[in-house]
């Protein structure tokens, strides 16, 4: 009995490993004897340097770069405003593929001035970057920490909590008014979802190609959708045991979570704007997002207006939802101000978009009750359009 079972295991693993072994053999043959050498001999090497970040300290400029191409790159010269300047580079002047390096310039930069930086590779290929407004890069200290935390509170926490104060008015809506409110919530969420996706696509442009920003976006989006779908499936069972209020409570928390991840992206934008000296842009973003985010409180409380009396400790739940939705803005401003990461921005915005779309679908499915055509009523359509128009209108404040 043992011998046939052993032979079966050998065949099983052999059939699994055989294609992999043959693939490695094929790769070896291609690299050793294939046409790759001919192309390397005839074509110039592909060199790509991605400038990740400028760090400005008194009399010094640091340039963080990464080799974004398949070939080693040697930095031979650096110019600042078309003037060649001496520099040092760590770990060395030659970077291997995906290797990071830091260029140090002892340069007497002037506060508020713009600077154009050009890096010259050893074969003459150039890579350009720009410092729009020269200003000291914030270092982690209590003053800047407190400032960025306050920015996050002003932008995210307070506006969302203010939006929750519409609850006493919203709970009075009955019948068609309640359906209008749910449809308005879906409109708000759908707009936020597309807004998060749009911001995520914009951040991909700030990533090295080797990081595969689209891949990060897809992973984050599907991770949120699949995870929340599993949560929604579980809550259906508990809804039958505990009542409709439980489903509404879960929706409130999931909406708050999705909005919170979206607001984390807003915090990243504000923090990074202040960090690179664009004070006017940062102030505009703060004022715009403050007004824009008040409407997010409506989206959180809308599913709770009919069943709130059945929810124990309702007010603490409501406050906690507001903190979940607004609190991540603080984290975003800190990351954006001290250690901005475009990869994290893409990931969190994608997760936020996936969460928002998933919750929107769950609410729509609940309204349909198995008959999807029933949701296309005048009341529901007007509510949905109202939600879109509210977010669209307040969005102008972010730009202006």
- 265-to-115, 126, 261 alpha-carbon distances in Å: 28, 32, 7
pLDDT at residue number 34: 62
pLDDT at residue number 6: 74
Indicate whether 241 pLDDT > 60. no
Which segments of the chain does DSSP mark as H helices, in order?
Answer: 2-33, 36-42, 142-152, 158-164, 167-170, 176-204, 213-242, 244-275, 279-294, 296-301, 314-326, 328-338, 342-368, 378-399
Whether residues 321 and 386 fall in one domain: yes
Last residue of one domain, picked from the residues 107, 131, 155: 131
Whether residues 260 and 318 fall in one domain: yes
Last residue of one domain, picked from the residues 108, 131, 154: 131
Whether residues 118 and 266 fall in one domain: no
Q: How many domains does the chain have?
A: 2
pLDDT at residue number 192: 84
Query: Residue 283 domain-assigned?
Result: yes
Per the CB < 8 A criterion, the answer to whether 66 and 49 are in contact is yes
Query: Residue 137 domain-assigned?
Result: no
Per the CB < 8 A criterion, the answer to whether 189 and 197 are in contact is no
pLDDT at residue number 81: 94
Whether residues 358 and 266 fall in one domain: yes
pLDDT at residue number 281: 53
Residue 255 tokens read as 């909406």
Domain around 358 = 142-399
What CATH number did the domain enclosing 78 receive?
2.60.40.10
Query: Residue 91 domain-assigned?
Result: yes
pLDDT at residue number 65: 94
Indicate whether 93 pLDDT > 80. yes
Query: Residue 338 domain-assigned?
Result: yes
Whether residues 127 and 246 fall in one domain: no
Query: Residue 279 domain-assigned?
Result: yes
Phi, psi (degrees; rounded to nearest 5) at 307: -120, 10
Indicate whether 277 pLDDT > 70. no
What count of residues does the chain have?
400
> Between these two residues, 296 and 319, which has the higher pLDDT value?
319
Whether residues 224 and 343 fall in one domain: yes
pLDDT in tens, 161-211: 888 888 888 888 777 888 888 888 888 889 888 988 888 888 888 888 888
Mean pLDDT, residues 46-66: 89
The conformational region for residue 342 under phi > 0 = left, psi -120 to 50 = alpha, else beta, is alpha
pLDDT in tens, 130-142: 988 888 887 777 8
Whether residues 123 and 250 fall in one domain: no
Last residue of one domain, picked from the residues 131, 153, 183: 131
Whether residues 118 and 231 fall in one domain: no
Whole-angstrom distance, CA of residue 59 vs CA of residue 204: 32
Whether residues 343 and 248 fall in one domain: yes
What is the overall mean pLDDT for the chain? Answer: 82
Tally of CB atoms within 10 A around 341: 18
Per the CB < 8 A criterion, the answer to whether 332 and 264 are in contact is yes
């Amino acid at each position: 009995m043992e011998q046939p079972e052993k032979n079966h295991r050998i065949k099983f693993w052999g059939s699994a490993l055989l294609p992999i072994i043959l693939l490695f053999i094929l790769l070896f043959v291609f690299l050793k004897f294939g046409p790759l050498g001919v192309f390397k001999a005839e074509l110039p090497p592909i060199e790509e340097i991605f400038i990740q970040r400028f760090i400005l300290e008194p009399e010094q400029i640091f340039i963080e770069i990464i080799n974004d191409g398949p070939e080693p790159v040697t930095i031979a010269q650096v110019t600042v405003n078309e003037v060649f300047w001496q520099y040092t580079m760590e770990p060395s002047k030659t970077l291997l593929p995906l290797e990071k390096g830091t260029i140090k310039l002892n340069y007497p930069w002037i506060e508020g001035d713009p600077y154009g930086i050009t890096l010259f590779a050893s074969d003459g290929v150039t890579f350009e970057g720009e410092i729009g407004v020269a200003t000291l890069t914030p270092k982690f200290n209590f003053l800047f920490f407190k400032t960025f935390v306050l920015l996050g509170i002003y932008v995210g926490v307070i506006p969302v909590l203010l939006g929750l104060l519409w609850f006493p008015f919203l709970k009075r809506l009955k019948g068609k008014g309640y359906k209008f409110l749910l449809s308005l919530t879906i409109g708000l969420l759908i707009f936020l979802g597309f807004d998060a996706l749009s911001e995520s696509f914009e951040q991909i442009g700030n990533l090295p190609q080797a990081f595969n920003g689209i891949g990060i976006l897809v992973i984050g989006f599907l991770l949120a959708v699949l995870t929340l779908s599993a949560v929604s499936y579980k809550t259906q069972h508990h809804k039958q045991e505990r009542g409709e209020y439980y489903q509404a409570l879960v929706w409130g928390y999931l909406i708050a979570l999705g909005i919170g991840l979206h607001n984390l992206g807003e915090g990243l934008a504000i923090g990074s704007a202040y960090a690179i000296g664009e004070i006017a842009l940062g102030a505009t973003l703060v004022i715009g997002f403050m007004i824009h985010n008040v409407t997010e409180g409506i989206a959180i409380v809308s599913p709770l207006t009919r069943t709130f009396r059945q929810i124990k400790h309702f007010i603490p739940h409501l406050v906690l939802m507001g903190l979940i939705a607004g609190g991540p803005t603080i984290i975003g401003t800190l990351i954006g101000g001290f250690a901005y990461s475009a990869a994290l921005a893409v990931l969190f915005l994608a997760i936020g978009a996936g969460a928002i779309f998933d919750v929107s679908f769950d609410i729509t499915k609940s309204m349909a009750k198995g008959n999807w055509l029933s949701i296309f009523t005048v009341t529901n359509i007007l509510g949905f359009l109202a939600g879109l128009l509210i977010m669209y209108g307040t969005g102008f404040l972010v730009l202006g």
